[in-house]
Amino acid sequence: MGSLRVIGLTGVIGSGKSVVASYLGSLGAYIIDADKLGHKVLEKGSPVYKRVLKAFGPSILKESGDIDRKILANIVFGKEKKRLLLNSLTHPTIKELIEEELNNALKEGYKEAVLEAAILLESPWLSFVSEVWEIKASYENCLSRSVKGKGYQPDEVKDRLEAQISARRQSTGAPLIEIDNNGSLEDTLNQVKYYFYQEKR
């Protein structure tokens, strides 16, 4: 995108995307979190909120009237038609917000931006990135990190991990760079630093 180097950062649940994104931010990159933008488009009263509520009904709401993302995720999980319906309602607006963020990065003089997105390879915003970095970790490590760090139940994580791994096998997008996050944090960050600065030369 213009003179902006856009790194697409992806990986399954518990792989360590957020740790890597935070480190890239400390190296001077502009960070865009697609999941946070997904939260934003579902805010109470927004156009997307109204469309999603109409499509899925009031059972997805908390007592406050906000959309319960966990309930919504459980409704669409493993159900292709419902998942595609939700994506069709949310992804176009998320894409617009990502484009706004990238334009902001350019205006503010950044040379690198990072788009962190678990579903990057299957999403319409893959077209924004100039390179893809996939954070790789073993099934066991991803499971352990998700249960300990994110408070998920083991069965819940297993279902999501298996679905995300399957989606990656079917994806036509191929990662250009793989970051191995099975070792120490220092090992992981050394890989990140190497690839970040290697491309800047």
The pTM assigned to this predicted structure is 0.88
- List, run by run, the mean pLDDT of 10-residue segments along the chain (201 residues): 87 91 97 95 96 96 94 86 93 96 96 94 89 91 81 75 65 72 95 87 52
Minimal CA–CA distance to 55: which of 97, 78, 88, 77? 88
DSSP state string for 166-192: HHHHH-S---SEEEE-SS-HHHHHHHH
Structure confidence at residue 172 (pLDDT): 47
Structure confidence at residue 168 (pLDDT): 62
